[in-house]
Amino acid sequence: MAFLEITQRRNFIQKSLALGCSVYLSPFFMSAKTTSRFYFGACDWSIGHRAEPEAFQTAKAIGLDGLQVSLGLASNNMHLRQRSMQENYRHASKTTGVKIASLAIGELNEIPYKREAITQEWVHDSIDVANALGCTVVLLAFFGKGDLRDDPTGKKEVVRKLKEVAPKAERQGVYLAIESWLSAEEHLDIIEKVGSTHIKVYYDVANSTTMGYNIFEEMKMLGTEYICEVHAKENGKLLGKGEVDFIRVRDVLNEIGYKDWIIIEGAIPKGMEMKEAYQHNLHFLQNTFQS
């Protein structure tokens, strides 16, 4: 999409908000990447195996369809960049039947993309890794030290870096997905300034609820043009027992035409075993989203 089209799209959303309207996205704005059903996965760090291939066996035991896997840690030099490690992950996926849903660079919370030069190398290489693993989404995290709220200088640097790496993402069919505390409009502002169709939003319903955003209107605003994957999360509670109305989430995702990965993060009550919590969370999503 050209820069002018992105600008026109953002102006349309702003006018709709001013009128207090719910934006319904027609098929013109829907991604061509739709599937016949939802798929359910988990973050490798949420099931106790951050950046470890053992996550696949645990995911299989839970009954998950797939995993969001970490590129690695600073301490292992983002080890999924190694071909031998990529082969380990492909083998683990094949033998367990657990798919690789997407990639994530969680270390950006501690080593911020907005400030540290090494992070551009990680993001650049993550595009090749995503292709090697057969997935198309790379989550870029902007929490902790990487928080972009009230940081225009940080946002400007993120835009500069994304402009630099976006052409490679476009050529290789990979989407770089921003997950942050920002509102939908703030995400759109960054995407507009980068001017690439391959910069998208990783939408976390719990994070946005915590920030006080109207997640249902935000998801309609962004649509499948900008939302490339979704986190289902509750902080310290099981899914369905917290603040997020997942029935309405389901209805909105159906409305905008999203049929793809829903990745569970967190949602483990204090004192509850991870496997028990995640089996509950998985059953809850299956019963809610597949009904």
Look at residue 133 and tell me if it is in a domain.
yes
CATH of the domain at 278: 3.20.20.150
Among 19, 42, 63, which Cα is nearest to 232's? 42
Q: What is the pTM of this model?
A: 0.88
- pLDDT digits (tens), the chain, 291 positions: 444 454 455 554 444 434 333 333 333 233 333 344 899 999 999 999 999 999 999 999 999 999 999 999 999 999 999 999 999 999 999 999 999 999 999 999 999 999 999 999 999 999 999 999 999 999 999 999 999 999 999 999 999 999 999 999 999 999 999 999 999 999 999 999 999 999 999 999 999 999 999 999 999 999 999 999 999 999 999 999 999 999 999 999 999 999 999 999 999 999 999 999 999 999 999 999 986
Beta bridge partners of 140: 105, 178
Look at residue 17 and tell me if it is in a domain.
no
Domain that holds residue 156: 3-11+37-289
Per-residue tokens: 35: 């599937």
Look at residue 92 and tell me if it is in a domain.
yes
Beta bridge partners of 104: 70, 139
Element (H, E) at 231: strand 227-234
